[in-house]
């Protein structure tokens, strides 16, 4: 740990503050909204007028994002741009609708463009990695592309962030080939995306409780563990004062830095799964999409059955507790995995 880097920075925040339900002030000019299990961010420049939206959550996040903007900025305001850390379904969900409505540019790394222009799908998620129900449910997570080509722009090669001159972006691949993280040097604020996350995203218990722990990228959707390990080391070298990610609460100060350094040092034990489709060999990519995807694990079918069973149990429990819409949706997903039909409830 480099104490000289830490000492020369201002400490602008030591804890996040809840503004209204699920909307938090993270640091000066940085706000987070949690929607179900994923975070969306507003970042306002501290150097000039202007703000951007970072990631767009789920397809159902549109109204919540607009409410966040109304709370943090003003009703009906729109950002100067949308910045994507990556294009997985839970980070680009509301993107098409918002970009069409706002007519603002959407920026991403050039290696992420095939998945946002309809040209390529991500490698399939891996439900065999273990760790909990969220991992086992990976069968139902979409990996196909969307097409927002008319709005899409490549991030500047010099690392600058459009509309945010006090920030820069870093290429942090592994979770996806074009994954990026955002960093503000003046006070050490890191928006990591999913290069590291601050909860155990594979566990439905951790997702529900948002228990704080610095973890590697979500295991079920990471196809290149070597690149992921290198990205974590690069982020640890920044010595951030604030770590906020695509999943989980913000973490601060010495405790957050120590946890990130520990993850970087022991990534092969703490950050990656013991087994899974991409553990022995990674998926390979070029700027047009995947060029090689390893074969399915032999345990794929068994895990699929276990996952479907778990979803039925959880869904039925929610249904009995009067959360009928969510319960039926989970049960429908589970029996759909097995090619069955949900009985009438």
pLDDT in tens, 39-49: 999 999 999 99
Q: Between 225-236 and 253-265, two packed helices, what is the crossing angle to 10 degrees? A: 150
pLDDT in tens, 217-254: 999 999 999 999 999 999 999 999 999 999 999 999 99
**Distance between CA atoms of 151 and 153, rounded to whole angstroms?**
7
Give the per-residue pLDDT at 59.
Answer: 95
CA angle centred on 58, ends 50 and 300, rounded to 5°: 135
Q: Which residue has the higher pLDDT, 312 or 150?
A: 150
The answer on pLDDT for 345 being more than 50 is no
The answer on pLDDT for 337 being more than 60 is no
Q: Which residue has the higher pLDDT, 256 or 326?
A: 256
pTM: 0.87
Q: Mean pLDDT over residues 59-83, rounded?
A: 97
Give the per-residue pLDDT at 313.
Answer: 55
Average model confidence (pLDDT) for the chain? Answer: 89
Dmax (CA) of the chain: 64
Using alpha carbons, select from 200, 203, 220, 202 the residue that is nearest to residue 212: 200
- Check if the beta carbon of residue 214 is closer than 8 Å to that of residue 196: yes
**Distance between CA atoms of 18 and 170, rounded to whole angstroms?**
28
- Check if the beta carbon of residue 292 is closer than 8 Å to that of residue 283: yes
Give the per-residue pLDDT at 4.
Answer: 79
Give the per-residue pLDDT at 211.
Answer: 87
Give the per-residue pLDDT at 7.
Answer: 84
Question: Structure tokens of 20?
Answer: 């209204």
Share of the chain above pLDDT 90, in %: 76
């Amino acid at each position: 740990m480099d104490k000289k880097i830490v000492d020369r920075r201002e400490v602008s925040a030591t804890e996040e503050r809840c503004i209204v339900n699920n909307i938090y002030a993270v640091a000066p000019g940085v706000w987070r909204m949690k929607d179900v299990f994923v975070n969306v961010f507003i970042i306002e420049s501290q150097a000039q007028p202007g703000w951007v939206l970072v990631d767009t959550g789920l397809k159902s996040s549109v109204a919540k994002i607009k409410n966040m903007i109304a709370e943090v900025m003003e009703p009906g305001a729109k950002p100067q741009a949308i910045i994507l850390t990556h294009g997985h379904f839970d980070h680009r969900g509301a993107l098409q609708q918002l970009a069409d409505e706002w007519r603002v540019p959407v920026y991403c790394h050039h290696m992420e463009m095939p998945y946002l222009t309809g040209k390529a799908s991500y490698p399939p998620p891996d439900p065999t990695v273990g760790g909990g129900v969220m991992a086992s449910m990976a069968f139902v997570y979409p990996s196909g592309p969307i097409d927002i080509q008319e709005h899409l722009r490549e991030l500047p090669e010099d690392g600058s962030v459009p509309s945010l001159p006090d920030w820069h972006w870093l290429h942090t691949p592994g979770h996806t080939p074009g994954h990026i993280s955002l960093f503000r040097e003046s006070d050490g604020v890191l928006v990591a995306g999913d290069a590291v996350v601050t909860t155990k995203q594979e566990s439905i218990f951790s997702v529900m409780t948002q228990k704080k722990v610095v973890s590697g990228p979500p295991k079920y959707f990471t196809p290149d563990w070597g690149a992921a390990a290198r990205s974590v080391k690069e982020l640890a070298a920044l010595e951030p004062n604030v770590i906020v990610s695509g999943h989980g609460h913000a973490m601060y100060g010495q405790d957050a830095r120590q946890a990130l350094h520990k993850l970087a040092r022991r990534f092969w034990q703490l950050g990656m799964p013991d087994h899974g489709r991409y553990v022995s060999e990674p998926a390979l990519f070029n700027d047009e999409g995947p060029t090689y995807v390893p074969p399915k694990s032999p345990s794929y079918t068994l895990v699929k059955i276990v996952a479907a069973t778990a979803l039925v149990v959880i869904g039925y429990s929610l249904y009995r507790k009067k959360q009928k819409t969510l319960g039926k949706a989970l049960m429908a997903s589970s029996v759909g995995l097995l090619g069955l039909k949900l009985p009438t409830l």
